[in-house]
Structure 1
Amino acid sequence: MTDQPLLCVNGVSKFYGNRIGCQDVGLELWLGEVLAIVGESGSGKTTLLNCISTRLPPTAGTVSYRMRDGQMRDLYRMGEAERRFLMRTDWGFVHQNPADGLRMSVSAGANVGERLMAVGERHYGNIRETAEDWLGRVEIGLDRIDDQPRDFSGGMRQRLQIARNLVTVPRLVFMDEPTGGLDVSVQARLLDLLRGLVNDLGLAVVVVTHDLAVARLLSHRIMVMKDGAVVETGLTDRVLDDPREPYTQLLVSSILQV
């Protein structure tokens, strides 16, 4: 990790009329660090993720990102074209439903290759070779490179979405319930794969999950949300093994009783 954060969030709030999406949230994230945002449905975790990733403008607060030249930039003072370029190159976004993050009517290889073209790669041979390498890394057989994602299982689609996001070696990746809707055995394989790739590439990751087991396996730090506010934050093992706030204690104990 460097001595400067990659991402700084200050006082971010989002209101929908009188309803609170999230309120006065602050955080810092460093390269090589995984932050899990956890809470029940309606806690505000997905709203916060969408505000941080510029998918949803906050009502108040700032989100700043350290560019590759070392400059901290306020994301909401950037032009739309600049933000879109960041999202295609330096960032990744892994959706809960992989169909939201893939082009279902083009081949698996083309899904990976499109991201490479966004960073300037034009040589077909190089694009295909890199796509083959990444399909191998996410455990998709090379005989499936010309198949469309609509012919893949849910777990394969999610692995392809991960390959599509990571092929440009982004510095920051957002994940929204990346194991949601998958069978337990498929979840376990996917989590092992994700943990290995994140460690190998030294990414910064913000992962939203309601599953504390996912948070424990993937994250260094954890942020617990309730009713749009952060109620507890700290090192993942500390928060899950010795929760200080009653709500966190309830969350942890309810998991243990299942």
Structure 2
Amino acid sequence: MSDQPLLSVNDVSKFYGSRVGCRDVSFDLYPGEVLAVVGESGSGKTTLLNCISTRLEPTNGSVTYRMRDETTRDLYQMSEAERRFLMRTDWGFVHQNPADGLRMAVSAGANVGERLMAVGDRHYGNIRETAIDWLGRVEINEDRVDDQPRAFSGGMRQRLQIARNLVTGPRLIFMDEPTGGLDVSVQARLLDLIRGLVSDLGLAAIVVTHDLAVARLLSHRMIVMKDGHVIESGLTDRVLDDPHQPYTQLLVSSILQV
């Protein structure tokens, strides 16, 4: 891992009137590192993810990102066009509901190919070949390349969404409950796939999840949120094996009792 952060979050807060979405959140994310953001529904974890990924403007604070040319930019000082380009090229966003991250009325191959076209690839043969290669990497057979996502199962749609996000070689992936709503057996295969791809490609990732098993499997570090605040953070195994805060202890013990 580099000794320079890829992403720095500094005192980020988001308020909805008098309601706190998240408050005074700070952390650094390094290249190749996976950070899990965990907490119950309403803890502020998705609000935080949306603020970091420029989908939602924070009320206070800043988010800086180290570009490929090694300059560090404040994301909210960038133009809308610059941020959109970053989202299409250097970043990926995997939604809990794959339909939110796919174009359901075009083929699987076109869903992957669109990202390539966003970075300037115009050769149809190359685009199709790369799309087929990426479908194979996420365990979708080549003969499904012309099928629309609406013909796919939930697990296949999620794998397609992952291929669409990773085809441009991003350095940072945001994931919002990536295995939510899937059967347990499908979840297990998908988690194995995500873990392998993140490791092979050296990706940095921020994974929002309420599932501590997902956090343990995927992340190096984690932060625990409650009522919009970070109440505990540290190496994933340390937090889960020796939680210091009563709330974290409760989360961990509730999993153990299931």
What range describes the TM-score normalised by the shorter chain of this pair? over 0.9
Is 1:17 aligned with 2:24? no
TM-score (structure 2 length as normaliser)? 1.00
Aligned residue number for residue 219 of structure 2: 219
1:57-96 equivalence runs, <5 A: 57-96=57-96
How far is the alpha carbon of 1:3 from its aligned partner?
Answer: 1.1
Show the 5 A alignment for 1:161-176.
Answer: 161-176=161-176
Code of the aligned partner of 1:153: S
Deviations 1:40-94 (A, max 9, x none): 0000000000000000000000000000010110000000000000000000000
Letter in 2 for 1:14: K
| Counterpart residue type for residue 169 of structure 1 | G
Q: CA deviation at 1:203?
A: 0.4
CA distance in 2, matches of 1:151, 1:248: 40
| 1:127 corresponding residue in structure 2 | 127
Counterpart-to-counterpart distance in 2, 1:65 and 1:136: 31
- The one-letter amino acid of 1:247's match is Y
Q: In 2, Cα distance between the equivalents of 1:155 and 1:183?
A: 8
Q: 1:82-121 deviations in whole A, cap 9, x for unaligned?
A: 0000000000000000000000000000000000001111
Paired residues in the alignment total: 258
Gaps of 5+ in 1: none
**What is the match of residue 188 of structure 2?**
188
Find the counterpart in structure 2 of residue 146 from structure 1: 146
SS at match of 2:10: strand
TM-score using structure 1 length: 1.00
Instruction: Please say if 1:98 is aligned against 2:98.
Output: yes
Shift of 1:131: 0.4
Structure 2: 5+ residue runs without aligned partners? none
- Separation (CA, whole Å) in 2 of partners of 1:63 and 1:173: 15
The SS at the match of 2:158 is helix
How far apart are 1:32 and its partner, in Å? 0.5
4+ residue runs over 4 A deviation: none
**Corresponding residue of 1:34:** 34
CA distance in 1, matches of 2:155, 2:250: 31
